[in-house]
Amino acid sequence: MSSRRVLLAQAYFLRFDPKLQEGAQPSPPLGSLICAAVLRDRGCDVRFFDSMLAGSEDDCAAAMNRERPDTLVLFEDNFNYLTKMCLARMREAAVRMIVMARERGIEAVLAGSDASDDPGFFLRAGASAVAVGEGEFAVADWLQAPWATRGTVPGMATLNPEGAVVSGPARGMVQNLDSIPSPAWDLIDLDAYRRVWGRERAPLCLPLATSRGCPFHCNWCAKPIWGQRHNTVSPSRAAREVLTLKRLGAGKVNVLDDIFGLRPGWMEEFAAELARLNCVLPFKCLSRADLLTDRLVRALKGAGCEMVWIGAESGSQKILDAMEKGTTVEEIKAAAARLRSHRIKVGFFLQFGYPGETEEDVRATLSLADEVLPDDIGISVSYPLPGTRFHERVKGEMSAATHWRDSSDLAMLFASPRGTRYYRRLHAYAHARFRLALALGNREGGLPRRSMTVIWRGAKRLIAGLALALVARERIRTRSMLPELSRERAATPTTRALSGLGDL
pLDDT of residue 437: 85
Per-residue pLDDT band for 469 (boundaries 50, 70, 90) equals: low
Report DSSP letters for 36-77, one per residue: HHHHHHTT-EEEE--GGG-S-HHHHHHHHHHH--SEEEEE--
If we measure between CA atoms, which residue out of 348, 274, 349 comes closest to residue 305?
A: 274
Per-residue pLDDT band for 223 (boundaries 50, 70, 90) equals: confident
State the chain's mean pLDDT as an integer. Answer: 88
Indicate whether 218 pLDDT > 70: yes
360: left (phi over 0), alpha (psi -120 to 50) or beta: alpha
**Cα–Cα distances in angstroms (integers) from residue 455 to residues 53, 110, 123, 440, 499, in the given order:** 34, 49, 55, 9, 22
Q: Is the dihedral of CA 452, 502, 478, 417 positive or negative?
A: positive
pLDDT in tens, 338-388: 999 999 999 999 999 999 999 999 999 999 999 999 999 999 999 998 889
Indicate whether 394 pLDDT > 60: yes
Q: Which of 22-36, 38-52, 145-159, 217-231 has the lowest average pLDDT?
A: 217-231
Buried-state track 406-427, b at ≥16 Cβ within 10 A, e below 16: bbebbbbbbebebebebbbbbb
Contact 371, 328 (CB under 8 A): no
pLDDT of residue 478: 38
Indicate whether 425 pLDDT > 60: yes
Indicate whether 496 pLDDT > 90: no
Range 203-390 classified under CATH 3.30.470.10: no
Indicate whether 476 pLDDT > 50: no
Q: How far apart are the first and last CA of the chain?
A: 65
Question: Who wins on pLDDT, 277 or 478?
Answer: 277
Percentage of the chain beyond pLDDT 70 is 87
Q: How far apart are CA 121 and CA 494, in angstroms?
A: 47
Question: Who wins on pLDDT, 224 or 58?
Answer: 58
Q: Which of 86-95, 185-194, 195-204, 284-293 has the lowest average pLDDT?
A: 195-204
**Cα–Cα distances in angstroms (integers) from residue 317 to residues 237, 330, 364, 413, 489, in the given order:** 39, 9, 9, 24, 22
E-state strands within 384-480: none
Indicate whether 174 pLDDT > 50: yes
pTM: 0.88
Q: Tell me the mean pLDDT in the region 476-493.
A: 41
Indicate the length of the chain as a whole number. Answer: 504
Indicate whether 472 pLDDT > 70: no
Contact 132, 119 (CB under 8 A): yes
Q: Tell me the mean pLDDT in the region 494-499.
A: 43
pLDDT of residue 451: 44
pLDDT of residue 467: 57
pLDDT of residue 480: 46
- Name every residue whose Cβ is closer than 8 Å to that of residue 316 and which is 6 or more positions away in sequence: 329, 357, 360, 361, 364, 365
Question: 414 pairs with which residues across the strands?
Answer: 398
pLDDT of residue 450: 41
Q: Which of 5-9, 80-84, 288-292 has the lowest average pLDDT?
A: 80-84
Per-residue pLDDT band for 461 (boundaries 50, 70, 90) equals: low
Report DSSP letters for 219-265, one per residue: TT---TTTTT--EE--HHHHHHHHHHHHHTT-SEEEE--SSTT-STT
Per-residue pLDDT band for 200 (boundaries 50, 70, 90) equals: confident
Contact 285, 255 (CB under 8 A): yes
CATH topology of domain 5-167: Rossmann fold (3.40.50)
pLDDT in tens, 277-334: 999 999 999 999 999 999 999 999 999 999 999 999 999 999 999 999 999 999 999 9
Indicate whether 490 pLDDT > 60: no
